[in-house]
């Protein structure tokens, strides 16, 4: 009777809203202070174990999903993915950063900066697409890196993914405030609260951005299908606006405004391209929707590659249109398109553009909220952060807890930090993850598990990757220190070529994608590595300092918390498996 009562109790579904310690820290290491002290003393051994551990496609697809207790709803098609990508990307950068980068770094050559960023992004999109088709899970790049490069690298990526999510949403929300102020004929900073005692860059409080974040993320929490429909209907308005901006810019603008074309030199073009990369980052959020896609093998390639190719062309045409309407040194850094139309006598158009930009930013926040929560969900499923954030709500079919985490953090950052601070940090984090993704794809193609690849071939692969990455870093450093020099490139570029030839000639390919794969491997992934590292090198010193500080904070958390949680879960599963095997015998 007692056994039946216990069984019935266990069969009852647990409440979604629960707050016990075991929901946040169920692992053995966190049971009490004694177990935690033991875990800390074993940190070196555990770090070695986690550093060498690699997940599998099956584990990410099947085992980790159970951590959420309820399933995400499979409700999206290629049509949804295209518009989710469009809604996420268009508005995130073109209305936010174009004016700032054209005015300060690229001048009229901002169109070239967008083309460079677009090419680099397309190479990364290829890598994401191959992974997403074969491993359609909510974790996106986190899961892919965990499979190919191991737990430790995946954690570093996870920290940067969360950093990108928080910073990206915060920056976009603050830009929403600037454009809203323009609509009501006020200075872009007039709706912010100035605190003179705070440091520069953190002294303009923005409560409106907090409200916008709360509203858009609440919609995302209520249901994926409903949010998707709202997004693609709203995005049709963006299409009409974009056609208007391009046509009006070419009709009202003047070719004289784009001469001389490269006002700040090639260095300025690349520096702008590194920051404008942020304008394309929405696509990686769309990749996290793979678990909710009906037919990943068909829908993901069409949705991702098709949308990003189209968006690259759109960005180039829109930035050229802006440059033709107004001289680069007259472009407003906060509300570029609205002020540009006002300068050519179309005062009424500035309100249309500002309203359209607000729409684009709003859908960008909406789709970003969807993707960011799913990244967080998969990270929590692995126990790198508390598994409470992995729970999927039984009614909405969405990860409400994960969405709350990202929303609250984004709102806190948006309240204090200025746009220039946020964009540089986000760009470096994104570029870093894209480099890792390209490396992971090469490893996936040329490294076989279970001793399929010999130790000799593994050493060869490591050596050739070192040549590719090292030569790419060398090219970036040499160019940024001596933009007019060429002697260093005679060394670095041939080394890059030799690294790729070495992989092709001396290593057999171990994995062949069944449905869709990146063409010209290892050349295209290696080109992605080179371009992304080159763009990283174009960022300012402050971006590296902020990135380093954030990384140190991530490592501190990992050593004191994430390391021990993932170690316990991995070995607990092994022990359970051994126990089950013994019982069966």
Which pLDDT value is given to residue 201?
67
Structure tokens at 3: 């056994």
Given a contact cutoff of 8 angstroms between Cβ atoms, the answer to whether 424 and 447 are in contact is no
By C-alpha distance, which of 13, 140, 21 is closest to 388? 21
Q: What is the average pLDDT across 200-208?
A: 80
Q: Do residues 135 and 57 make contact, with C-beta atoms less than 8 angstroms apart?
A: yes
Query: Quick check: 251 pLDDT over 80?
Result: yes
Q: pLDDT by residue (tens digit) across 108-165? A: 899 999 998 888 888 889 999 999 999 888 878 888 999 999 888 888 888 887 877 7
Distances (CA, A) of 1 to 6, 13, 380: 9, 21, 37
Place of tokens 């074993």: 42
Computed over every residue of the chain, the mean pLDDT equals: 83
- Provide mean pLDDT across the span 448-474: 90
CA distance 16 to 200: 42
Q: What is the DSSP string of 407-457?
A: HHHHHHHHHH--HHHHHHHHHHHHHHHHHHHHHHHHHHHH--TTTTS-HHH
pTM (2 d.p.): 0.82
Q: Which residues contact 4 (CB under 8 A, 6 or more apart)?
A: none
pLDDT category at 186 given cuts 50, 70, 90 is confident
> Is the confidence at residue 63, as pLDDT, over 90?
no
Q: Give 327-353 pLDDT, tens digit per residue.
A: 888 888 877 887 888 888 887 877 777
Question: 350 versus 56: which is more confidently predicted?
Answer: 56
| Eight-state DSSP code of residue 205 | E
Share of the chain above pLDDT 90, in %: 24
Give dist(CA 387, CA 75) in Å, integer. Answer: 25
For the ranges 26-30, 502-506, 533-537, the lowest mean pLDDT is seen at: 533-537
Percent of the chain at pLDDT > 70 equals 92
* Residue 434 to residue 431: CA distance in whole angstroms: 5
Q: Report the 10 Å Cβ neighbour count for 119.
A: 14
Task: Lowest mean pLDDT of 321-330, 436-445, 492-501, 568-577, name the range.
Answer: 568-577
Write down the pLDDT at residue 509.
Answer: 92
Label residue 203 by pLDDT band (50, 70, 90). confident
Q: Regarding predicted confidence, which is higher, 238 or 200?
A: 238
Q: Which of 277, 280, 323, 339 is nearest to 85 (CA)?
A: 280
Q: pLDDT digits over 516-554, tens only?
A: 899 999 999 999 999 889 878 877 777 788 788 888 888
- pLDDT the model gives residue 196: 78
pLDDT at 471 over 90: yes
pLDDT for 366-415, tens place per residue? 888 888 888 888 889 989 899 999 898 888 888 899 889 989 988 988 88
pLDDT for the residue 11: 46
Strand (E) positions, 121-180? none
Tell the residue number behind the tokens 């990508």, with chain if given.
Answer: 85
Contact 372, 229 (CB under 8 A): no
Quick check: 354 and 182 in contact, CB under 8 A? yes
Once rounded to an integer, what is the mean pLDDT over residues 301-329?
A: 90
Nearest to 386 by CA among 369, 404, 398, 370: 404
Q: In sequence order, what are the residues at sequence separation of 6 or more whose Cβ sits closer than 8 angstroms to the Cβ of residue 498?
A: 467
Sequence-ordered alpha helix ranges (H) in 487-561: 487-506, 523-537, 541-557
DSSP 521: T
Tell me what pLDDT residue 13 has: 61
Examine the pLDDT at 447 and tell me if it is beyond 80. Answer: yes
């Amino acid at each position: 009777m007692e056994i039946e009562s216990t069984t019935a109790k266990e069969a009852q579904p647990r409440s979604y809203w629960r707050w016990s310690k075991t929901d946040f820290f169920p692992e053995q290491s966190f049971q009490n202070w004694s177990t935690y002290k033991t875990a800390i003393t074993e940190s070196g051994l555990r770090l070695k174990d986690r550093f060498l551990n690699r997940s599998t496609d099956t584990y990410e697809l099947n085992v980790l999903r159970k951590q959420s207790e309820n399933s995400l709803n499979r409700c999206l098609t290629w049509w949804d993915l295209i518009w989710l990508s469009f809604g996420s990307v268009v508005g995130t950068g073109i209305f936010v950063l174009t004016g700032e980068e054209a005015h300060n770094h690229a001048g009229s050559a901002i169109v070239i900066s967008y083309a460079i960023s677009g090419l680099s992004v397309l190479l990364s999109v290829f890598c994401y697409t191959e992974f997403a088709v074969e491993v359609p899970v909510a974790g996106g790049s986190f899961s892919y890196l965990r499979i190919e490069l191991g737990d430790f690298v995946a954690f570093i990526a996870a920290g940067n993914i969360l950093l990108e999510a928080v910073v990206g949403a915060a920056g976009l929300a603050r830009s929403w405030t600037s454009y809203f102020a323009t609509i009501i004929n006020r200075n872009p900073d007039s709706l912010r609260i100035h605190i003179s005692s705070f440091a520069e860059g953190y002294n303009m409080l923005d409560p409106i951005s907090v409200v916008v974040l709360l509203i858009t993320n609440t919609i995302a929490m209520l249901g994926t299908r409903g949010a998707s429909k709202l997004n693609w209907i709203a995005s049709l308005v963006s299409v009409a606006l974009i056609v208007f901006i391009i046509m009006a810019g070419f009709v009202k603008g003047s070719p004289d405004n784009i001469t001389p074309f490269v006002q700040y030199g090639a260095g300025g073009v690349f520096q702008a391209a590194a920051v404008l990369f942020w304008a394309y980052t929405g696509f990686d959020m769309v990749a996290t929707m793979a678990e909710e896609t009906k037919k990943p093998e068909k829908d993901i390639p069409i949705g991702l590659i098709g949308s990003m190719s189209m968006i690259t062309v759109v960005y180039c045409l829109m930035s050229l249109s802006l440059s033709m309407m107004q001289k680069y040194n007259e472009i407003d850094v906060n509300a570029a398109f609205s002020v540009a139309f006002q300068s050519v006598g179309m005062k009424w158009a500035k309100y249309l553009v500002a309203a359209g930009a607000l729409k684009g930013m709003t859908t960008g926040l909406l789709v970003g909220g969807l993707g960011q929560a799913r990244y967080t969900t998969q990270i929590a499923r692995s126990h790198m952060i508390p598994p409470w954030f992995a729970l999927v709500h039984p009614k909405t079919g969405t990860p409400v807890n994960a969405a709350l985490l990202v929303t609250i953090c984004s709102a806190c950052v948006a309240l204090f930090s200025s746009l220039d601070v946020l964009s540089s940090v986000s760009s470096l984090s994104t570029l870093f993850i894209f480099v890792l993704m390209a490396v992971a794809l090469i490893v996936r193609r040329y490294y076989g598990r279970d001793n399929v690849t010999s130790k000799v071939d593994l050493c060869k692969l490591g050596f050739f990757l070192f040549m590719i990455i090292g030569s790419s870093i060398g090219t970036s450093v040499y160019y940024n220190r001596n933009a007019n020099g060429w002697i260093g490139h005679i060394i670095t570029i041939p080394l890059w070529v030799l690294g790729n030839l070495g992989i092709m000639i001396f290593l057999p390919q171990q994995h062949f994608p069944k449905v869709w794969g990146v063409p010209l491997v290892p050349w295209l992934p290696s080109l992605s590595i080179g371009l992304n590292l080159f763009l990283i090198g174009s960022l300012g010193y402050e971006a590296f300092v902020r990135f380093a500080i954030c990384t140190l904070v991530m490592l501190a958390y990992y050593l004191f918390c994430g390391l021990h949680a993932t170690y316990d879960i991995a070995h607990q599963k092994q022990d359970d498996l051994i126990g089950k095997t013994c019982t069966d015998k």
